[in-house]
């Protein structure tokens, strides 16, 4: 089997490794990829979506796996193009990927399908947004488009709301677009992933990510400073409720509304005192949750994704380990406000009972690894207990060094009793 993975970050490194380690030993390719990914996958000679499709056809690719969301909604859409050219694709077409690309579309879908979610008003100007907030703080403001994880602001007061609305409507930091004014929910967050194949689905091991830069959930929002995954992250009762009230109605809603879906769907949930509610959909796996979840997957992920892309949900092909998995992100100096590149990384030669996925690295002229971006590496470790996984992941992270390295010490600790 020949598989092409689209993306270049830590999530794609984890996906590529899980696919490459599948028992059928598929040949894996990656676009655009990274130096670290190219140790497991071959590079692709393409410079855009159209040439990527031509390349897939010329190279007899059996399966295209969408790692990152942007290609799903670019141009005609990755999955739409694949379908037109007869290439099975694990990832939804453009019309369905609006669930992630447009917060307003997602909110209307949720309401139409009676799925629990925060109350919200769509607004098209600074004044309209302020009127919708109506002095009720805290409030949550969401830019209605892809904003690389930067489009949401939880605003405790009017000053912070005005600052965000100014970025959106005056500075147009994210380009043109509207703002959703949303009720602020409270409770622990959990990321639930389902593999969806038309009217069927399989729920993967749930996870939780840590978005703030500093311990204690302090500091600015980031792309994610770590994650913890386990079947035991939430009770079986809660998992059943999530399936009943959120996953199943979503899959039914997609069918009813004629939105085709084959791929991973990410449910960002808040477990409020009144039950689980959706705060976002993403049409892909989470980053860094993927890095924590993939080491728990057993069986043949490659065959599972191929069967899924061809319309068959093969539950028998994969299973999930029972323990805990903890992912600690090592970020570069200055992240998230800025990021420094070019710092030499040492300690990557260590091997042990852990995995290291590269998010932002490159090889320097001497052939050594150096930093290349904000989030640099993900160190992932499993354990029978959460405490064991936490201790092992932090000990493994100690082995890897670079100037200005930052990481959180409370991944898998904070937000547990």
Footprint of ligand GLY on this chain (CB under 6 A)?
149, 209, 224, 282, 286-287, 289
- 68 vs 280, which CB is nearer to ligand AMP? 280
Which of ligand AMP, ligand GLY, none binds 224 (CB below 5-8 Å, type-dependent)?
Answer: ligand GLY
- 282 vs 325, which CB is nearer to ligand GLY? 282
Question: What gap in Å lies between CA 262 and CA 273, rounded to an integer?
Answer: 32
Please state, as a whole number, how many other Cβ atoms lie within 10 Å of the Cβ of residue 367.
Answer: 6
Which of ligand AMP, ligand GLY, none binds 289 (CB below 5-8 Å, type-dependent)?
Answer: ligand GLY
Instruction: Sketch the per residue contact string, 1 through 40, with ligand AMP: x for CB under 6 A, - otherwise.
Output: ----------------------------------------
Binding ligand AMP (rule: CB under 6 A), the pick from 154, 333, 395, 413 is 154
Which of ligand GLY, ligand AMP, none binds 287 (CB below 5-8 Å, type-dependent)?
Answer: ligand GLY
Instruction: Compute CA 77 distance to the chain's CA centroid, rounded to the nearest angstrom.
Output: 19
Please state, as a whole number, how many other Cβ atoms lie within 10 Å of the Cβ of residue 369.
Answer: 23
- 108 vs 240, which CB is nearer to ligand AMP? 108
Closest contact distance (angstroms) between CB of 67 and ligand AMP is: 18
Residue range at the interface with ligand AMP (CB under 6 A); choices 68-76, 148-156, 240-248, 328-336: 148-156
For ligand GLY, which residue has the nearest CB? 286
Residue 140 is a binding residue for ligand AMP (CB under 6 A): yes
Which of ligand AMP, ligand GLY, none binds 3 (CB below 5-8 Å, type-dependent)?
Answer: none
Closest contact distance (angstroms) between CB of 365 and ligand AMP is: 38
Instruction: Sketch the per residue contact string, 158 through 197, with ligand AMP: x for CB under 6 A, - otherwise.
Output: ------------------------xxxx---x--------
Question: What gap in Å lies between CA 392 and CA 312, rounded to an integer?
Answer: 38
- 183 vs 405, which CB is nearer to ligand AMP? 183
* Binding to ligand AMP in span 239-268, by CB under 6 A: 268
Closest contact distance (angstroms) between CB of 110 and ligand AMP is: 12
Which of ligand AMP, ligand GLY, none binds 154 (CB below 5-8 Å, type-dependent)?
Answer: ligand AMP
- 270 vs 317, which CB is nearer to ligand GLY? 270
In b/e form, how buried is each residue of 181-213, taking b as 16+ CB within 10 angstroms? bbeebeeeebbbbbbbbeeebbbbbbbbbbbbb
List residues binding ligand AMP (CB under 6 A). 118, 140, 149, 152, 154, 182-185, 189, 211, 268, 279-280
């Amino acid at each position: 089997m020949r598989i092409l993975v689209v993306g270049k970050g830590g999530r794609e490194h984890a996906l590529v490794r899980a696919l490459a380690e599948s028992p059928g030993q598929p040949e894996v390719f990656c676009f655009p990829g990274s130096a670290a990914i190219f140790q497991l996958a071959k590079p692709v000679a393409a410079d855009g979506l159209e040439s990527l499709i031509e390349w897939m056809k010329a190279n007899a690719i059996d399966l295209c796996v969408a790692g990152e969301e942007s290609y799903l909604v670019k141009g005609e859409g990755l999955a739409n193009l694949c379908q037109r050219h007869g290439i099975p694709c694990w990832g939804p077409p453009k019309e369905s990927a609006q669930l992630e690309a447009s917060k307003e579309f997602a909110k209307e879908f949720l309401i139409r399908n009676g799925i629990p979610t925060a109350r919200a008003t769509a607004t098209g100007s600074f004044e309209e947004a302020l009127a919708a907030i109506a002095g009720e703080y805290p409030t949550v403001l969401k830019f209605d488009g892809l904003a690389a994880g930067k489009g949401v602001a939880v605003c405790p007061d009017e000053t912070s709301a005005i600052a965000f609305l100014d970025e959106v409507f005056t500075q147009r930091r994210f380009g043109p677009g509207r703002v959703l004014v949303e009720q602020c929910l409270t409770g622990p967050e959990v990321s639930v992933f389902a593999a969806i194949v038309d009217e069927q689905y399989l729920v993967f091991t749930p996870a939780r990510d840590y978005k703030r830069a500093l311990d204690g959930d302090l500091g600015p929002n980031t792309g994610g400073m770590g994650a913890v995954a386990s079947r035991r992250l939430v009770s079986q009762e809660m998992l059943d409720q999530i399936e009943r009230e959120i996953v199943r109605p979503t899959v039914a809603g997609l069918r009813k509304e004629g939105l085709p879906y084959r791929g991973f769907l990410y449910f960002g949930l808040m477990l409020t005192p009144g039950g689980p509610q959706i705060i976002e959909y993403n049409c892909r796996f989470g980053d860094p949750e993927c890095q924590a979840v993939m080491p728990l997957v057993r069986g043949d992920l490659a065959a599972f994704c191929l069967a899924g892309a061809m319309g068959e949900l093969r539950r028998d092909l994969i299973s999930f380990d029972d323990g805990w998995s903890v992912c600690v992100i090592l970020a570069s100096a200055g992240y998230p406000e800025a990021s420094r590149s070019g710092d030499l990384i040492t300690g990557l030669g260590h091997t042990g009972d852990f995995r290291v996925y590269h998010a932002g690295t490159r090889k320097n002229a001497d052939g050594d690894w150096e930093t290349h971006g904000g989030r640099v590496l993900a160190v992932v470790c499993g354990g029978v207990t959460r405490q064991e996984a936490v201790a092992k992941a932090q000990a493994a992270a100690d082995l890897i060094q670079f100037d200005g390295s930052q990481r959180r010490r409370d991944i898998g600790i904070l937000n547990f009793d």
